[in-house]
Chains A and B, each alone.
Chain A
Amino acid sequence: MPAESAPTRFRDPQIEMAHGAGGKASRKLVEGLFAPLLFGSSPGPLGDAAQVDINGTKVAITTDSFVVKPLSFPGGSIGELAVNGTVNDLAVSGAKAEALVVSYVLEAGLPAHILEAEVRAMAKAARDAGVRIAAGDTKVVEHGKADQMYVTTTGIGRLLHGVTVDPRSVRVGDRILLSGPIGDHGITILLARGELDLEADLRSDTRSVLPLVETLIHAAGPGIRWMRDPTRGGAATSLNELARDCGLGMVLFEDQIPVRDAVRGACELLGLDPLHIANEGQFLAVVSPDYVDAAINALSLAPGGSEAQVIGEVREQPAGTVLVTTLYGGSRIVDMLVGDPLPRIC
């Protein structure tokens, strides 16, 4: 229950961009301010969607706002992201999106054809994902008070049978699966902003991951412990949250992590770590060892799943930490992202 007098732990004097970047600062804001006041004292691990019980029927619910700049980029646009992002948050929580409601904040002066293109993109993405857009709302703010358009979608989903997603069920020896190459979306956006004189043949990976999640559940449902779509903050941040929530160590094998050459190249040049780069069409799953072969076989035969990989395993140590090991025996800790990823110069 909400508790408006509950103590909070959030002490930052003002909101910075980092509070929205999905890394440590975001987590502090949610756990230090939102959770104690809105969800009561001990909400438990925070997943991508919540379950609510309505007259004995459990449904999953989630919401997400989209403020991407530029509005469209190779491989996608804000409209598609807004549908797929919410469908994916539900999917990795073990639910199939049934209905979305959409809310627009529009800046006065936005060309109507841009809005129309984005609404068409939403309609197409919703049809592809098999979800209905059931209701909506529109607000317009003065020119200069928003950046063209923001979209918020809220989704309600039916729980899929045969899967329970709970970080506390993760055990030592479980395997960490990744559905495909990481970093495509974040690097595509970085390049599409045109501030870097870099070009690459790269597209955002935005898509509904529901078909792959359903394939995984069908093949390995009882073995699935946890899933997450690693958006802002990247795979490193999602796995750090898991490590903290289950108190175990996540050990990744660097040479097993799929990363396209264009993403690797951009990251090398800019001093970024692909594990910190945002994704919009991939998911991570932790699967028990006896189901891992079935899971990988099924995923790799499914459309869009051919690059799925086991990228690591759960160990007792280093507890609460993500460790990446290299082929030649070196290792490094990979922390959550702090703030936005900023390129380095030298």
Chain B
Amino acid sequence: MRFVDEFREPALISKTAEEIRRLAGTNRHYRMMEVCGGHTHAIYRFGLKDILPENIELIHGPGCPVCVLPMGRIDDGLSIAQQPDVIFAAFGDMMRVPGTQGSPLEHKARGMDVRIVYSPSDALKVARLNPEKHVMFFAIGFETTAPSTALTMMRARAEGIRNFSVFCNHVTIIPAIRAILDSPDMRLDAFIGPGHVSTVIGCRPYEWIAHNERKPIVVSGFEPLDMLQSIVMLLRQLKAGEAKVENQYKRVVPWEGNRAALKAMAEVFQLRPYFEWRGLGFISQSALRVNDKYAEWDAERRFAVPGIRVTDPKAAQCGEVLKGVLKPHQCKLFGRECTPEHPIGALMVSSEGSCAAYHSYEHRKAAMVSLSSIA
């Protein structure tokens, strides 16, 4: 398959892995954080840990939008959809995320009108087709998905579609990285920068990481070769004592980002003064809300929102895992109370969540004898 197989070419992968081993040597331990959940998923899916030397440790970052969403927001969104004639629309990623009274899918099984959509514009389509109902789109995601939410709201306004609103949970990546770097228990050498987010925001917003924090960051693609090449680029910087922003994902990410997408976001959203992140707590200016011009399409203003706050179960150590302090299997609930079928923490829900990825692809490998005989 074009544009995929080229980046999974075994000979090139072995060569790049060899280069990583050469650069990494054996004297030093390297801790690199992949910020994006898509990278976490790719690392497990392609078994990249098996081909990296042991002294390169990959730490899973906070870039899984489902995982960082506090449970109270899910309860709030579902409480709106409890009202008569409201349709709850969301991405598939959200469907199994538990609220205190169950996930959207469980609410659907009990009779709530819940629709899985593949883009915000599909949710608007549902609104057009059901003029007697109100469609609330439960929006999640970083800058990757925020522009499409913004464009959909602009279209709703232009077409005068009033039975549609957005429950906005969009968050921004830079404050989350800042919170990780400010965390005292975090010792990182470098960052594998998010690929999809950077298609929108470009590479400039990361410059402070290189200049002020002196950490190298390489914006990376999602194929095995992309990620290995990014690790090579990070190792070269670290060996040379440099700290730069580099772009490995040039085929998709423009250095300046996507102006049109940023413009759409500026048209519809404004920064919230603060927003709660699961595991990280309140982070200032880290999320988006709908601005006054679009108030009519803002579910938080059209409906009474209870503003539910839920503390995570004490035993769950989602915060530590989210910050990379603990590995998924080191959490007390991992694989016992908390499994993909019955997730307690959100990291176990999304396939981009490090716990779910680790549970599906990795954890039983620990009990295995050597796999070296497998061709």
Q: Which residues of A contact B (CB under 8 A)?
A: 14-18, 24-25, 195-197, 249, 251, 253, 261, 264-265, 268, 271, 315-318, 321, 323, 325-335, 338-339, 342-346
**Does A14 contact B109, Cβ atoms closer than 8 Å?**
yes
Q: Which residues of B contact A (CB under 8 A)?
A: 1, 4, 8, 10, 13-14, 17, 37-38, 41, 44-51, 65, 91-93, 95-96, 105-106, 108-110, 116-118, 122, 140-142, 144-145, 196, 224, 340-341, 350-352, 359-365, 367-369, 371, 374-375
**Can you report 14 A-B residue pairs in the complex whose CB atoms are below 8 A from each other?**
A25-B341, A265-B1, A318-B364, A323-B371, A326-B10, A328-B14, A330-B46, A332-B45, A334-B361, A335-B359, A342-B92, A344-B351, A344-B352, A345-B144
**Does B365 contact A318, Cβ atoms closer than 8 Å?**
yes
Residues of B near A327 (CB, < 8 A) are 10
**Does A332 contact B368, Cβ atoms closer than 8 Å?**
no
Residues of A near B363 (CB, < 8 A) are 333
**Does B371 contact A345, Cβ atoms closer than 8 Å?**
no
Which 5 pairs, one residue from A and one from B, show the smallest C-beta to C-beta distance?
A330-B47, A342-B92, A328-B13, A327-B10, A332-B361
A264-B1, A318-B365, A328-B17 known; A24-B341 Cβ under 8 A: yes
Most buried by B among A15, A249, A316, A317: A317
A16-B106, A261-B1, A344-B93 known; A332-B46 Cβ under 8 A: yes
**Does B91 contact A318, Cβ atoms closer than 8 Å?**
no
**Does A333 contact B364, Cβ atoms closer than 8 Å?**
yes
With beta carbons under 8 angstroms apart, the residue of B47, B341, B351 that contacts A332 is B47
Most buried by B among A251, A261, A344: A344
Bound-state Cα–Cα, A316 to B371, Å: 11
**Does B46 contact A344, Cβ atoms closer than 8 Å?**
no
Bound-state Cα–Cα, A278 to B2, Å: 25
A331-B365, A333-B360 known; A346-B141 Cβ under 8 A: yes
- 12 more A-B residue pairs beyond the given contacts A17-B105, A328-B8, A343-B91, with a C-beta to C-beta distance below 8 A: A195-B117, A264-B4, A323-B368, A326-B47, A328-B14, A332-B44, A332-B361, A332-B362, A338-B341, A342-B95, A345-B92, A346-B37
Residues of A near B359 (CB, < 8 A) are 335
A328-B224, A346-B196 known; A317-B93 Cβ under 8 A: no
Specify the chain A residue showing the minimal Cβ separation from B122: A195
A14-B109, A24-B341, A331-B374 known; A342-B47 Cβ under 8 A: no
Residues of A near B10 (CB, < 8 A) are 326-328
Residues of B near A330 (CB, < 8 A) are 46-51, 224
**Does A333 contact B365, Cβ atoms closer than 8 Å?**
yes
Bound-state Cα–Cα, A15 to B110, Å: 9
Specify the chain A residue showing the minimal Cβ separation from B360: A335
**Does B45 contact A342, Cβ atoms closer than 8 Å?**
no
**Does B46 contact A317, Cβ atoms closer than 8 Å?**
no
Residues of A near B47 (CB, < 8 A) are 325-326, 329-332
Residues of B near A325 (CB, < 8 A) are 47, 371, 374-375
**Does A317 contact B95, Cβ atoms closer than 8 Å?**
no
Bound-state Cα–Cα, A342 to B94, Å: 9
Residues of B near A333 (CB, < 8 A) are 360-365
Residues of B near A18 (CB, < 8 A) are 105, 341
Residues of B near A332 (CB, < 8 A) are 44-47, 361-362
A325-B374, A338-B340, A346-B38 known; A16-B1 Cβ under 8 A: no
**Does A329 contact B352, Cβ atoms closer than 8 Å?**
no
Specify the chain A residue showing the minimal Cβ separation from B45: A332
B224: min CB distance to chain A, Å: 7
A244: min CB distance to chain B, Å: 12
**Does A346 contact B65, Cβ atoms closer than 8 Å?**
yes
**Does B93 contact A345, Cβ atoms closer than 8 Å?**
yes
**Does A345 contact B145, Cβ atoms closer than 8 Å?**
yes
Residues of A near B105 (CB, < 8 A) are 16-18, 339
Most buried by A among B13, B38, B122, B374: B374
Residues of B near A15 (CB, < 8 A) are 109
A176: min CB distance to chain B, Å: 14
Bound-state Cα–Cα, A18 to B109, Å: 10
Residues of A near B14 (CB, < 8 A) are 328-329
Residues of A near B116 (CB, < 8 A) are 195, 342-343
Most buried by A among B367, B368, B369: B368
Bound-state Cα–Cα, A323 to B93, Å: 25
Residues of B near A321 (CB, < 8 A) are 364
Specify the chain A residue showing the minimal Cβ separation from B374: A325
Bound-state Cα–Cα, A52 to B360, Å: 37
Bound-state Cα–Cα, A332 to B14, Å: 18
Residues of B near A265 (CB, < 8 A) are 1
**Does A346 contact B145, Cβ atoms closer than 8 Å?**
yes
Specify the chain B residue showing the minimal Cβ separation from A324: B47
With beta carbons under 8 angstroms apart, the residue of B44, B46, B92 that contacts A326 is B46
